[in-house]
Amino acid sequence: MSESSFIGHNIDIAATLLRKGEAVAIPTETVYGLGANALNVKAVAKIYQIKQRPTFDPLIIHLSSFDKVSDYVEEIPEVFKVLASKHTPGPITFLLRKKSIIPDLVTAGSSYVAVRIPSHPVIKELLEKLDFPLAAPSANPFGYISPTTAQHVADQLGNKIYYILDGGPCEVGLESTIIGMNDDGKIEVLRKGGLSVEKIQEITGPVIIRDTSTSNPEAPGMLTSHYAPKVPLILANIRELPLNINPERTGIIAFHNFVPKIPHKHQIVLSPSSNFEDAAFHLFAGMRYLDGCDIDVIYAELVPEHDLGIAINDRLRRAAHIEKSGH
C-alpha cells in the first residue's frame, strides 16, 4: 500500500487501478465513495478492510445507465422503471433481487442488491470506461462522517488508498435514498436520502418509511449509530442551552441562525435562507469542520421534518450521542 494517496483528476488512472482490483476513491453527486470492482471478491474485500466496515453491512453497486441494471438483477418492478425514468441518474438506489454474478460479499449474504445510477459527470465517464459495476460505500472510516470533498477522503483514508479521483465538492451532500418493495408489493423507503420522499410519492403514491436497524441491515445505511463525529453531538433546543456550558468549548449546528454568545467560528449555520438543499450540502462538511475544532461538545438542532429535512434529521439523529427531551 502506498504511503499516501494521490489526489488527481485522471479518470484513466482510476480506471486502470480498478481493473487491477484496487480500491479508488470516487466522486458522486451525493458523497465520495470508495469504489472497487463489484464482481471481484478480493477487490470488494479491500473496501471492507480499508473502511473497517463490518461485513454484515451491504454495499451499493453503481452503473453508468439504468439499461444495464437488468444484467445484474432478476427483475425490475414497473414502478421502479418509472421512477428511474424520472430520477436517474440521481440520488436514488433500488434494492432488487440479485443475479448470481453479484458476489454475496457485496450484499452481506442477502439475495438483494442495492443498485444506483450516479449523475456526477466524473463517475459517469469512469463507469462508461469499465465493463463491471463499482461497489462503493462512502469513502470514510466506518461510522464516521461521510466525505463531500476529495480532501475529506485524504484526511481520513489517505494512507490506505492509492488514488482519489477529484470531482470537486459533492452537489447533494447526503447519501442516496434507498427504496425496495416488500412481499405485499408496497414500496418501502429503507434509507432516507438525497431524493425526498415527497418526490417519490408523486409517482408511486404513499410509501412505507422504514426505521433503522441495529444489526443485519437489509440495505446500506440502516444501522442506528452512524455518521458520528468524535466530539459528542447532542440534539437539543439550541436557543435554550445549559447554563453551565463553556461558550469557548461548545460547537453549534443550526439550521438558519447563529446562537448568541458562542463564537461564530464554532458555529455551522446550514442555510441562512432555510433552504433544505443548501442545508444538506453543508451538513457533513460542517460536522467534519466542528469535529476538527478544539471543543468539547456539539449541540445541534433538528430542521423541519419534511422534504430533505427528513434525511438531514435522520443523519443528525444517528450522529448524536444524546437527544434531549422535546425533540
Cell of 49: 478492510
- Crossing angle of helices 11-19 and 121-129, in 10° steps, is 50
Backbone angles phi, psi at 57, to 5 degrees: -105, 110
Whether the Cβ atoms of residue 120 and residue 28 lie closer than 8 Å to each other:
yes
Question: In tens digits, what is the pLDDT along the chain, a chain of 327 residues?
Answer: 444 569 999 999 999 999 999 999 999 999 999 999 999 999 999 999 999 888 778 999 999 999 999 999 999 999 999 999 999 999 999 999 999 999 999 998 899 999 999 999 999 999 999 999 999 999 999 889 999 999 999 999 988 999 999 999 999 999 999 999 999 999 999 999 999 999 999 999 999 998 765 445 677 776 666 678 899 999 999 999 998 999 999 999 999 999 999 999 999 999 999 999 999 999 999 999 999 999 999 999 999 999 999 999 989 998 996 655 443
pTM above 0.85, yes or no: yes
Whether the Cβ atoms of residue 147 and residue 32 lie closer than 8 Å to each other:
yes
> How far apart (Å, rounded) are the C-alpha atoms in residues 113 and 110?
7
DSSP state at residue 183: T
> How far apart (Å, rounded) are the C-alpha atoms in residues 179 and 315?
17
> How far apart (Å, rounded) are the C-alpha atoms in residues 81 and 79?
5
> How far apart (Å, rounded) are the C-alpha atoms in residues 150 and 168?
7
For 177, other C-beta atoms within 10 Å of its C-beta total 27
Whether the Cβ atoms of residue 170 and residue 11 lie closer than 8 Å to each other:
no
Where do the domains of the chain lie, and which CATH numbers do they carry?
6-209 (3.90.870.10), 233-323 (3.40.50.11030)
Check residue 214 and give its pLDDT.
Answer: 46
Q: How many residues does the chain have?
A: 327
